[in-house]
Amino acid sequence: MDNKEELFLKYEFAKRMLETEINILMEDFVFHHKYNPVEHIKSRIKTIDSIKKKLQKKGYIDTCDNILRHVHDAVGLRIVVSFLSDVYDIVSIIKKSRNLKILEQKDYISDPKESGYTSYHLIVLVPIYLENKTEYIEAEIQIRTMAMDFWASLDHKIQYKFPETIPDDVKEKMYENAIVIKELDKRMMHLNDIVNKYDK
């Protein structure tokens, strides 16, 4: 493919399909369990500039073929949930989807990044139905708690301020805060377990 306009149109189709599929899965879960774990869902398509920077960082020139081969999160969807246990419930729901194909999964909750970043990532193939064929477009789904999302938002701003190298003292403080966030998630899940006992 050598037409970026066509490629980004397909990304838009994939984003809409992914949004619809996730919303249906979530509504079905709420209907059957009488509980909504989702705080909010946000989706986006990476900008052309952001994709260019990612390719340059990986050492590739900016072509449609390279975008398709090396940029796996051009289409992204983030699901923010209330509690830690909800993350894994959502992952299980998505894995059961008949329309989404799981290509890759990374559990940064069990195995955090060096910076302290925690989240659960899924790379999926999303079907888009065109005039005379069906194509599959890669997308990334991130599932995280509100606490994880708060930390990741701050981390993103810090990465933006220090595009080259983050000072060691800043890294250290960010990692310390990541530990606090992890402990907070555990405490909130424990509190939720106590509340649920009263419901029963």
- The confidence band for 161, taking pLDDT boundaries of 50, 70 and 90, is confident
Domain ranges of the chain: 4-199
Type of residue numbered 109:
I
- Orientation of helix 84-95 relative to helix 168-199, angle to 10°: 80
- Looking at residue 162, its pLDDT comes to 79
State the Rg of the chain over Cα.
19
**Chain segment 34-92, per-residue pLDDT in tens:** 999 999 999 999 999 999 989 998 999 999 999 999 999 999 999 999 999 999 999 99
CATH 3.30.460.10 fits 4-199, yes or no: yes
- The confidence band for 123, taking pLDDT boundaries of 50, 70 and 90, is very high
Q: Which range, of 37-46, 85-94, 104-113, 188-197, averages the lowest pLDDT?
A: 188-197
Per-residue HEC secondary structure of 135-179 comes to EEEEEEEEEEEHHHHHHHHHHHHHHHHCCCCCCHHHHHHHHHHHH
Q: What distance in Å separates the CA atoms of residue 48 and residue 59, rounded to the nearest whole number?
A: 16
Q: What distance in Å separates the CA atoms of residue 133 and residue 32, rounded to the nearest whole number?
A: 35
